[in-house]
Amino acid sequence: MKAVKVTEFRARLPRYLSRVAAGETISLLSRGRTVAHLVPAQAPATEAKRQLAALRKHARIGDVISPLDVEWKAGRGHP
């Protein structure tokens, strides 16, 4: 990740935006401290796939296999 002073970023905005569009992440500095990170935008489908992959670590797909037309006895005092 490249660190750039805010003043330099403003002076060369098109160049840095091109770099971010190409996939680079830029950290913006003000008085030597990071104030923001400029990251490439992701397509909604790509972000959705990333979130689903993260959910797979904690959830199991297909854990409810009963048909919808079968009445469940859970929660009605039945074992």
Three-class SS state of 57: coil
Structural tokens at position 36: 């923001």
Give the count of domains, the chain. Answer: 1
pTM metric for this prediction: 0.55
- Tens of pLDDT, residues 13-67: 999 999 999 989 999 999 999 999 999 988 888 888 888 888 888 776 665 565 6
Cα torsion 9, 13, 16, 17: sign: positive
pLDDT of residue 18: 94
Query: Residue 55: what are its φ and ψ, rounded to 5°?
Result: -65, -30
Q: Is residue 78 part of a domain?
A: no
Q: Is residue 24 part of a domain?
A: yes
Helices (H) and strands (E) in the chain — how many of each? 3, 3
Residue type, position 48, single letter:
A
Q: What is the CATH number of the domain that holds 32?
A: 3.40.1620.10
Q: State the residue range of the domain holding 34.
A: 2-55
